[in-house]
Structure formats: structure tokens, C-alpha cells
Amino acid sequence: MKIMVAIKRVVDYAVKIRVKPDKTGVETQNVKMSMNPFCEIALEEALRIKESGLASEVVAVSMGTAQCVDTLRTGLAMGADRGIHVEATGALYPLSVAKLLKALVEVEKPGLLILGKQAIDDDCNQTGQMVAGLLGWPQGTFASKVVLDKENQVATVDREVDGGLETLSLDLPAVITTDLRLNQPRYATLPNIMKAKSKAIKKFTPQELNVEIKSDLEVVQVTEPPKRKAGVVVSSVDDLLDKLKNEAHVI
């Protein structure tokens, strides 16, 4: 079985986000970019499944500007067998990404498609659900544990929900999106970084996949959150209780 993993290039999680002066989005020029953390978890899970003998190949795919190839190289250095880059220069919203993924699934025919539960740049949390809908495949979102039964072609997925753990049984092929506690992604070692340079990355354009990139959605404005007001030091517990009661009105 082949596993396809969608990995997105985003502003590194440790970077302090700056809004562009014209408020059209966040600054990405001269900013450290990395693989979306939930996508690292998705790739790690695919690699573990392959290492346990339940999959034969892991294909990492990424959509966006030419620099996505760097992110794919990181994925290849972690252990993915090959990469696919769909080059698109404009804004890519989840429905467009889901359509591109569906087209790639039709080309590659994986038994499992794994995505992060959300990209930390736009926090959409939509792509996995949309591509499962477009493909008509079962979906296990926010997975905190994945167990594959190759013989019966079933994936058992634990999901952390408000009231506890929900366990789903999905017939393969299926879509899984990963939550934070699923695993701890590995670091790429130097020899694997070197090896990754010779692994194949195939290129597609959206036109070649018969996908029109358009959106019914327009970002009107991006603004910084309001600045937090300075706190005050209270002199006693009585003072604190008085402020909570009479100023903050929370007790």
C-alpha cells in the first residue's frame, strides 16, 4: 500500500508573526519558513506505518510556490520515498488544495492519505475534511492513535474529543488528519539530508491536473490582535478579591 502525505510550507512556529503594512496578510518575506508541525506528525506516522511493514511507499506532496521544494526536501530527508510539487503562485485556499489532492490521489492511487489537522498559518482545519468529501472516502480527523489492519483493509483511529476518546473504524482507502499527541516527529539526520538530494520530486501544474484555482473567499483584512494592557500588582488577597468583585465583576 502507498501512503500519500500532504505537507504545507508555513511560517516557522517560533517566528513572531508580523502583519503587512497594507493589512493584506502576514509578512512572509525574509521570514523563516518550515514544514507545518501537524504535517511533520502526518509524515512521521506514515513513515512508522511503512517501517512496520504495512506500507510500501510514502509520497510527500506540497502545493504552492517554488520554495515548497525545500519543504519537500525536508520530508524526503525525514524518510519519504519521493515528492510531488504542484506549483501555484497565488493564494491557495483549502478547497483548491483539496481539489489538487483529489487529482493527485487519482494519479497515485494511495491506500491512505494523511494530512495535518490544520495549518498553523491560516488555522483553517478544512482541507482533510474537504478532500475526504470530494473523494467519497471515510475520514478520521484529529487522530491521536492509528492502527492499520492490512488483511481486512481497515484503519482504527482514536480521536481526542471533548468527552474523552472516540474510536473509529475506517475502511481503506481513507483520509486521516493528525493531532498533536499522535507521535513525536523525528529529526532528519545528516546522511539522510544528503540522500534526500537525489530523491525524485515530480512537478505538476494545476492545469495538468485539470484543477482551476479560484476561490469564493476573499481575505478582506488582516490585523494584529489588540495590545494587552499592563497588569497590576495587588497588595493583598483582600485587595485581589475586591478587584475581582468590583472592577472585573467576575465573582
Residues lying near ligand AMP in the complex (CB under 6 A) are found at 6-8, 36, 38-39, 42, 62-64, 92, 94, 97, 115-116, 118-119, 122, 124-128
CB of 89 to ligand AMP, least distance (A): 12
- Of 126 and 153, the one with the shorter C-beta distance to ligand AMP is 126
Among candidates 126, 93, 119, which has minimal Cα distance to 219? 93
Burial 156-175 (b: 16+ CB within 10 A, else e): ebbbbeeeeeeebebebbbb
- Of 49 and 115, the one with the shorter C-beta distance to ligand AMP is 115
- Of 120 and 172, the one with the shorter C-beta distance to ligand AMP is 120
CB of 193 to ligand AMP, least distance (A): 21
50, 3 contact by CB (below 8 A)? yes
202, 85 contact by CB (below 8 A)? yes
- Of 186 and 243, the one with the shorter C-beta distance to ligand AMP is 186
- Of 151 and 212, the one with the shorter C-beta distance to ligand AMP is 212
- Of 116 and 206, the one with the shorter C-beta distance to ligand AMP is 116
Long-range CB pairs of 183-189, under 8 A, 24+ apart, other chains included: 183/41, 183/44, 183/45, 183/48, 184/44, 185/37, 185/40, 185/41, 185/43, 185/44, 185/78, 186/44, 186/47, 186/78, 186/79, 188/74, 188/77, 188/78, 189/77
Place of cell 525545500: 70
- Of 50 and 85, the one with the shorter C-beta distance to ligand AMP is 85
Residue nearest to ligand AMP (CB): 116
Q: Quick count: other Cβ atoms within 10 Å of Cβ 229?
A: 6
CB of 84 to ligand AMP, least distance (A): 10
CB of 31 to ligand AMP, least distance (A): 17
Joined together, the cell numbers standing for residue 39 give 504535517
CB of 241 to ligand AMP, least distance (A): 42
243, 234 contact by CB (below 8 A)? yes
CB of 130 to ligand AMP, least distance (A): 8
CB of 65 to ligand AMP, least distance (A): 10
